[in-house]
Amino acid sequence: MKYDDEYAGYEIPIIVQFPISDMGTVNRSIHEIQNQMAVLADSARLELRRHLVNEYCTTSDLSRRLGIGAPQVSRHLRKLREAELLESIRDGKMVKHRLRMNVVYSIGYEFLTRIVK
């Protein structure tokens, strides 16, 4: 990211932007939204999430790319799946995973609608 020199030395917060429209709202409870945000915010899953945004990946693909063991990758995938943030499809003997981006996008919208209710 590019910042002006006047901001050098300051910690700049990360800003998350999302569409201000209904992106397939599923009418979750505030507890479900909080849980999904916590699962997504976990720093240990940051790099994993980056690989799951634009393509389907197997557990072994992710393990190789991230340089961590398959059991550790599986634990992270399980957390994402339990929070209903992960889509998994079987392709022969392989299972491929991808983030459910419609759900991820809708979290911000649903969170804001709960705040203003």
Helices (H) and strands (E) in the chain, counts: 5, 3
Q: Which of 80, 114, 72, 82 is nearest to 98 (CA)?
A: 80
Residue with the two structure tokens 């340089």: 67
In tens, the pLDDT along 7-66 reads 666 676 666 565 555 555 567 788 898 999 999 998 888 889 999 998 999 999 999 999
Q: Which of 32, 33, 64 is nearest to 47 (CA)?
A: 64
The answer for residues whose C-beta is within 8 angstroms of residue 93's C-beta and 6 or more apart is none
Give all domains of the chain, ordered by start, each with its CATH number: 27-116 (1.10.10.10)
Q: Say if pTM beats, i.e. exceeds, 0.85.
A: no
